[in-house]
Amino acid sequence: MIPAEAVAALFPDLELVELCAWVEHRWVAPEPGADGGWIFQAIDVARVRLIYDLRRDMAVSEDMVPLVLSLLDQIYELRAQLKSVTRAIDGLPAPVRTQILAALETP
């Protein structure tokens, strides 16, 4: 668990006020800390890194960040669902798996 100040310090030009704005915009959702601040988990820091890269390296405008994050979240969710489907198919008998693969190859 990492406090907000430590998270901001991980990035060369990320001011704490900007990180706070990202939390207020609900782009990242750390847990509330006992002192009234926020506590970031590793997944939150990864999300901050993504937002930082979008804003700095990719020059995504502030008003477009929610759209980009939403689309990326949908992709991640679809990937998780696809993994679940793959695991389910892998557990089926070989003839059934073969039928499924054949059906997927047919246009």
- pLDDT bucket at 78, cuts 50 / 70 / 90: very high
Angle at 104 between CA 77 and CA 75, to 5 degrees: 15
As a whole-number percent, the residues of the chain with pLDDT over 90 amount to 91
What pLDDT, on a 0 to 100 scale, did the predictor assign at position 35? 85
Calculate helix-pair angle for 42-56, 16-24, nearest 10 degrees. 100
**Using one digit for the tens of pLDDT, what is the confidence trace for 8-50?**
999 999 999 999 999 999 999 999 988 888 999 999 999 999 9
Q: What is the pTM of this model?
A: 0.84
Nearest Cα to 4, choosing from 53, 104, 29?
29
